[in-house]
Amino acid sequence: MTQILLTGSLSKQVISIGRICGFKMKIDINLIQEFERSINTLHPEKGKIPIHILGYGEISLVFEFVNSTEPIAYKRLPIFDTEGQVKRHIAAYEIYHQILAKIGIEIPPEDSVWLKSNDETIALYCAQEKISSSSIGNSIIHHDISQNDIKILVKLIMRKLSKIWLFNKRSQKLEVGIDGQISNWAVKGYDPEDPGISESSELIYLDTSTPMVRINSVDAMEPILFLKSAPSFLRWALEALFLEEVVSRYYDFRLVTIDLLANFFKEQKPELIPSLIKLVNEFYLHEVPELEIEPLSYLEVDRYYNGFLGDRQIWVIFQAARRMDRYLQTRMLRRSYNFYLPGKITR
Ligand SMILES: Nc1ncnc2c1ncn2[C@@H]1O[C@H](COP(=O)(O)OP(=O)(O)OP(=O)(O)O)[C@@H](O)[C@H]1O
Ligand SMILES: [Mg+2]
């Protein structure tokens, strides 16, 4: 880990920067540093350093710098209290990427850099080669593609996901998790002018910034970091009630599949769900019988998303609480707010 001490003139100053050795991408550190100093979390695209938003997750947003010639997508994670935490996170992130590659889940070239400021924030910038947005799963399913092609896409995702659990079954020391949602996958070489998916289409996994790997049953990343973007008034309750469940969900093939299929409610394509359930159940039975996964039912997928305190309600409540927290922090307490919040999400 290299560290460079810096000085600056704005009230928010970056006081140290950390980067792993063997730089993998052409990250413009000066630009990131200037960006971090002048960040505008309220109006992401109106900051001093212009950015273009590439996509929103529930927690963070992915963007590129308008004035950079490098095709790099960044995700800013301002969730660390100590340098020890961010270093542990990067180590976990590196291990996770190596394991995914070894298992046969391709990811884009990636890199990372962290910055510590004089206001005590430590933000990790995860960098990834920029992928054309029309090749990302949630875009593909909304453009000129047949239902049959969507089914093939889901089958290809299932094939990738099953590699994780086939690995976990064999592995003594390591256990890997993954977030299988449709928006986390891109189709290599996808041509929106000639859309279509075939059994030989190749997928790339994008959502690599949350390293889900356990070494001898210990989470490589600190699980509590999952909750760092939650309002402080909710964090203790979330930790007590949901943290274990939320993290464990990504290590369970059946639950990851339910989450993937329930995503079609959010993507406004619920009519596809029954046939996707059939496809998944056939996949469990014929392609990975050794994993002995119980078949899914429509009721389960529906309840998971639409039920009382199901995925839809949880995220609506969570995002409303974050907006309330931002209001309290910025308007009442006159503090800065460190996270980007997504706009209105149709669910
Ligand atoms: N390398 C990339 N190039 C272009 N767009 C990207 C890239 N990585 C992510 N995106 C876009 O940003 C969206 C969110 O990215 P990602 O899935 O990594 O975040 P997320 O984990 O879902 O967010 P969160 O953890 O905050 O919920 C993706 O669905 C995609 O549209
Ligand atoms: Mg995602």
For 129-169, what is each residue's pLDDT tens digit?
999 999 999 999 999 899 999 999 999 999 999 999 999 99
Q: Are residues 9 and 153 in the same domain?
A: no
Strands 203-205 and 110-117: unpaired
Q: What is the pLDDT of residue 228?
A: 82
pLDDT along the chain (347 residues), means of 10: 42 87 83 92 88 86 93 94 94 95 96 92 94 96 95 98 98 97 96 94 96 96 85 84 86 97 96 98 98 98 90 83 86 84 81
Domain finish residue from 129, 151, 183: 129
> Quick one: tokens of 290?
């050794």
Q: Does 174 contact ligand 1 (Cβ within 6 A)?
A: no
Q: Are residues 123 and 194 in the same domain?
A: no
Q: Does 54 contact ligand 1 (Cβ within 6 A)?
A: yes
How far, in Å, CA of 181 to CA of 316, rounded?
18
Q: What is the pLDDT of residue 7?
A: 35
Determine the structural domain holding residue 50 and report its residue range.
Answer: 2-129
Q: Are residues 149 and 100 in the same domain?
A: no
Q: Are 322 and 341 in contact (CB under 8 A)?
A: yes
Q: Does 62 contact ligand 1 (Cβ within 6 A)?
A: yes
Q: What is the pLDDT of residue 21?
A: 65
> Quick one: tokens of 172?
């003594």
| CA-CA-CA-CA torsion sign (42, 84, 75, 186) | negative
Q: Does 135 contact ligand 1 (Cβ within 6 A)?
A: no
Which ranges of the chain does DSSP label H, i.e. alpha helix? Answer: 29-37, 83-103, 137-140, 147-170, 232-241, 243-249, 253-266, 273-282, 298-306, 311-327
Q: Does 73 contact ligand 1 (Cβ within 6 A)?
A: yes
| Three-state SS at 182 | helix
DSSP label at 89? H
Q: Are residues 111 and 231 in the same domain?
A: no
Q: Are residues 226 and 82 in the same domain?
A: no
| CA-CA-CA-CA torsion sign (285, 287, 292, 293) | negative
Tokens 């079609």 sit on residue: 264
215 assigned to some structural domain: yes
Ligand nearest to the CA of 225: 1
Q: State the DSSP H helix or E strand holding residue 65, giving kind and residue range, or none if neither.
A: strand 61-65
Q: What is the chain's percent helix, strand, coil content, to nearest 5?
A: 45, 20, 40
Q: What is the pLDDT of residue 9?
A: 41
How far, in Å, CA of 75 to CA of 86, rounded?
14
Cβ contacts of residue 105 below 8 Å, gap of 6+?
160, 163, 164, 178, 205
Domains of the chain: total = 2
Domain finish residue from 69, 100, 129: 129
Q: State the DSSP H helix or E strand holding residue 56, giving kind and residue range, or none if neither.
A: strand 51-56
Q: Are residues 76 and 48 in the same domain?
A: yes
Residue from 206, 221, 347 to probe ligand 1 pocket by mutation (most atoms less than 8 Å from CB): 206
Domain finish residue from 74, 107, 129: 129
Beta bridge partners of 116: 16, 122
| Three-state SS at 69 | coil
Ligand nearest to the CA of 54: 1
Cβ contacts of residue 135 below 8 Å, gap of 6+?
186, 187, 188, 189, 190, 192
Q: Are 174 and 99 in contact (CB under 8 A)?
A: yes
Tell me the one-letter amino acid at 20.
Answer: I
pLDDT in tens, 189-228: 999 999 999 999 999 999 999 999 999 999 999 888 888 8
| Three-state SS at 116 | strand
> How distant is the alpha carbon of residue 312 from its chain centre?
17
Q: Which atom of ligand 1 is nearest to the CA of 60?
A: 26
Q: What is the pLDDT of residue 223?
A: 86
